[in-house]
Amino acid sequence: MPVAGPGHPNTAILTAMDLIVFDLDGTLLNKSSKITAYTQETLRRLTAEGIAYTVATGRALHGAIDILDGHGFLLPQIYKNGVMIWNPDLDSYSTSHLLTLDEIGHVAEAFLEKDVTPFFFTLEPGNRHAVYHPPVRQKAEYKLIRSFEKERNLPVLPIADLPADADITNISAIGPDIAINAVAEMVETEEHLVAYMGVAIEDRRLNWIDIHHHSGSKGGAVTLVKEELGFKRVICFGDSDNDLSMFQTADEAYAPENAKEHIKSAATSVIGHHDADGIARFLRERFAL
């Protein structure tokens, strides 16, 4: 029987051997980035049955905390694709993999050389998060700023305002596919960096990219949480490239119908669409809830 591990004094004793791990966007959340009433009820039923669950997302804590509040997410939570693990019991991070000054410099130079604006995500004293950037260059970058502010609940500020004591957790950007691909190729030569990327606006040939320390992965973070809390098995749900590392370490991995084709191919099975409560419906059947 898994129990609260060291550093988790208030975590309730759990009766299940499985740990369920949800990606958020495109998986547990609907197209409006909400947890539906049906999924909320499913989470309540999981809790009532003593079945443990948590989240592993590319979002920062401040971009998910309001969404998760009140829905039983009491165990350590994985943010920024595994770069950070948040411990709700202690109201602090238990693990973080931060970028070094050299790594930050190399990535920034690569972006600026390709005329793409880098966005620097920070962890600051008091567990404050923010995003900083040099002058914006493209219309799509302005849209990205609005999404950080409105959807992720993050302040977005000029790079000149970056505090001296801020740590950089990851660097993101949006830009022409040729430029983004060139930056991704540069990252491949950096021993301690990893990049996730994808199509942002297909008809305009714009891609997005997110770069962070290679030690921060969903798979590594899920394994750490599993071992620390004493679970035997992991069942995970995800829809994109940043979920592949936890697919590889999980005992069961499920992709919603809307997932990318190569993600579906890597999954144990493909289940219902994220905008039709596909994960919740699967769980009700899987655990007879």
Q: Hey, which residues does 85 pair with through a beta bridge?
A: 78, 95
**Closest among 98, 53, 101, 50 to 213, alpha carbons compared:** 98
Strand partners, 233: 18
Along the 289 residues of the chain, how does pLDDT read in single tens digits? 333 333 333 344 444 689 999 999 999 999 999 999 999 999 999 999 999 999 999 888 888 999 999 999 999 999 989 999 999 988 889 888 899 999 999 999 999 899 999 999 999 988 889 999 999 978 889 888 988 888 778 899 999 999 999 999 999 999 999 999 999 998 888 888 988 888 876 567 899 999 998 888 999 999 999 999 999 999 999 999 999 999 999 999 999 999 989 999 999 999 999 999 999 999 999 999 9
Rounded CA gap, 169 and 104, in Å? Answer: 10
Distance CA 228, CA 32 (A): 34
Using a cut of 0.85, tell me whether the model's pTM lies above it. no
Q: In whole angstroms, what is the distance from residue 91 CA to residue 250 CA?
A: 27
Sign for the pseudo-dihedral over CA of 117, 118, 119, 122:
negative
**Using an 8 Å Cβ cutoff, are 17 and 232 in contact?**
yes
Using alpha carbons only, what angle is made at residue 197 by residues 196 and 201, rounded to the nearest 5 degrees?
Answer: 155
Burial of 203 (C-beta count, 10 Å sphere; 0-12/13-18/19+): exposed
